[in-house]
Amino acid sequence: MDCVFCKIVSGELPVNKEFEDDDIVVFKSNRPETPVHLLVVPKRHIESLKVAEDDDVQVLGKIQLMAKRMAEKFEIVGGYKVMVNAGKFQEVPHIHYHLKGGMN
Ligand SMILES: [Zn+2]
């Protein structure tokens, strides 16, 4: 599978991981748009929110709580954004949530 996020999950493509467990990996965006810009990614390849199903509910919920924990870790609880892009706005075809903060 030629998926850049699957390669990060497998370790084939090394990045500094901010968090990792059996289901999720968190790392910094390589093209940050805000002072804090993390990507929260499920390890299992789900192409997009457009194709997410009932079986994905647990990991998608876990991602939201992980975004909250990362906002606490990076001290941006005063204001942050959690975003998921789909369709023409999605650049990597492996679902991922952006956590952005630290801007005024
Ligand atoms: Zn993938």
Domains within the chain, CATH numbers bracketed: 4-101 (3.30.428.10)
Catalytic residue numbers?
A: 96
Output the pLDDT for position 104: 79
Distance, in Å, from the CA atom of 36 to the CA atom of 51, rounded to the nearest integer, reads: 28
Distance, in Å, from the CA atom of 2 to the CA atom of 18, rounded to the nearest integer, reads: 23
Whole-Å CA distances, 51 to 3, 17, 27, 37, 61: 16, 26, 23, 25, 16
Q: How many residues does the chain have?
A: 104
Distance 57 CA to ligand 1 centre (A): 18
Distance 92 CA to ligand 1 centre (A): 8
Counting as low any pLDDT under 50, the low residues of the chain are none
Percent of the chain topping pLDDT 90: 97
* Nearest C-alpha neighbor of 26 from the set 36, 17, 35: 17
Distance 42 CA to ligand 1 centre (A): 9
